Amino acid sequence: MLRQLSAHAPRVAFNFKSRRLVHGGCGQRLTTRALSSATVSPPSKAIVYDVHGPPDTVTKLVEVPAVEVKEKEVCVKMLAAPINPSDINRIQGVYPVRPDPPAVGGYEGVGEVLSVGSSVTSLSSGDWVIPSPPSFGTWQTYIVKNENVWHKIEKGVPMEYAATITVNPLTALLMLEHCVTLNSGDSIVQNGATSMVGQCVIQLAKSRGIHSINIIRDRPGVDEVKEMLKNLGADEVFTESELEVKNVKSFLGGIPEPALGFNCVGGNAASLVLKFLRQGGTMVTYGGMSKKPVSVSTSSFIFKELSLRGFWLQKWLSADKAEESRGMIDRLLSLVQEGKLKYKMELASFDDFSTALDKALGKLGSQPKQVIKF
């Protein structure tokens, strides 16, 4: 359960500049005097973890005092931020790149500019912005960072989509456009089709005239799941058990053999993707939800000349891709506004973060993406 500060607990403040927690009231009084004549942020609240561990155990709500907004900085009032699997992994300490604790959780989101430093020219009060590339520490009510961190977006975009556009939808678009050259009439195959990336892949492929073959796990209500994916634009949807046959390509009908496959599960689900691929096809792995390895037959390499590669959004973004990614984000948000890109989410109040976290952890069964509204 998320721990909150009681009226008698010592104040715990997060220092935005050093990314360190400062304990005790004396330090805060000094900070208040120092900031009395400067532009400052409002006091804030944040979800912080002092050590790595189970998110529902180590996270806590803390109060954050005002900080100075320097000449090239922007104070943003956060509007919404999601709870992604990678956020959970960072808190657990198992994600390859993570801030050192103590740290504020969250990695993407959307906010509204509250105030700007004296030298800021690209943004104004009232603008909607997202951290692009994504930035650590979005689970807090106010954030002060340099203006180059923030990307201005149209205010007409639904808030929950603006908050979630920079990780999963961007991953789907990049994998479709940067891994293999695809043309209208080509096809792709993927497992984990009900994930947010999977749903985005279906719709983005459909918009380009690319067929999609989708693999899902066996589950109750599977017919409803299939119908949902087909309504998004999926050409074919199969359960893993339906594909336990010698020749899966007999299911393709008039769809060409896929040149490209996406794997976010591993294990048997990855092997099924490989079975569909055409001669010389490529499978891209971007996740491992089953925590099982990818096994490939020798014949797949020798006789089918299949290629295997990985994709990690954070590594791509770190390769000086900020401007390119912002252009792609704007494209994705335009598709959202046109009704051509959608996925299921659930908005939760910041005051109800504990319940949203439990849902994101799977403690309350299968749930939509949890998006915190501040």
Q: Which residue has the tokens 């043309």?
A: 183
Residue 167: in which H helix or E strand, if any? none
| Closest to 68 in 3D by CA, of 32, 39, 34, 37 | 39
Query: Which of 226 and 14 is assigned the larger pLDDT?
Result: 226
CA distances to 12, 53, 67, 143 from 100, in Å? 17, 13, 21, 18
- Residues 353 and 1: their CA atoms lie apart, in Å, by 10
Q: Model pTM?
A: 0.88
- Residues 312 and 333: their CA atoms lie apart, in Å, by 21
Per-residue pLDDT tens for 193-249? 999 999 999 999 999 999 999 999 999 999 999 999 999 999 999 999 999 988 898
| Closest to 352 in 3D by CA, of 372, 329, 332, 326 | 372
- Residues 175 and 211: their CA atoms lie apart, in Å, by 15
pLDDT for 253 equals: 87
Are the beta carbons of 347 and 367 closer than 8 angstroms?
Answer: no
Asked whether residue 164 carries a pLDDT value surpassing 60, the answer given is: yes
pLDDT for 322 equals: 83
Are the beta carbons of 157 and 124 closer than 8 angstroms?
Answer: no
Per-residue pLDDT tens for 64-108? 999 999 999 999 999 999 999 999 999 999 998 899 999 999 999
Q: What percent of the chain has pLDDT over 90?
A: 78
Relative orientation angle of helices 168-178 and 196-207, to the nearest 10 degrees: 50
Asked whether residue 19 carries a pLDDT value surpassing 60, the answer given is: no
pLDDT for 12 equals: 42
- Roughly how many angstroms between the first and final C-alpha of the chain, as a whole number? 19
For the CA atoms of the chain, what is the radius of gyration? 22
What are the beta bridge partners of residue 239? 216
Domains and CATH numbers, the chain: 12-164+344-373 (3.90.180.10), 167-314 (3.40.50.720)
Q: Which of 49, 95, 142, 161 is catalytic?
A: 95
Q: In what order do the strands lie in the sheet with 103-104?
A: 3-4, 59-64, 44-49, 103-104
207 three-class SS = helix
225 three-class SS = helix
* Residues sharing a CB contact under 8 Å with residue 322, sequence separation 6 or more, in sequence order: 132, 133
Q: Angle CA(308)–CA(310)–CA(314) in degrees, nearest 5?
A: 170
Per-residue pLDDT tens for 335-349? 999 999 999 999 999
Per-residue pLDDT tens for 298-323? 888 888 899 999 999 988 987 678 88
Q: What percent of the chain has pLDDT over 70?
A: 90
Count of C-beta atoms within a 10 Å radius of residue 341: 23
Query: Which of 365 and 188 is assigned the larger pLDDT?
Result: 188
Count of C-beta atoms within a 10 Å radius of residue 180: 19
For this structure, is 161 an active site residue?
no
Please report which confidence band the pLDDT of residue 14 belongs to, taking 50, 70 and 90 as the band edges.
very low
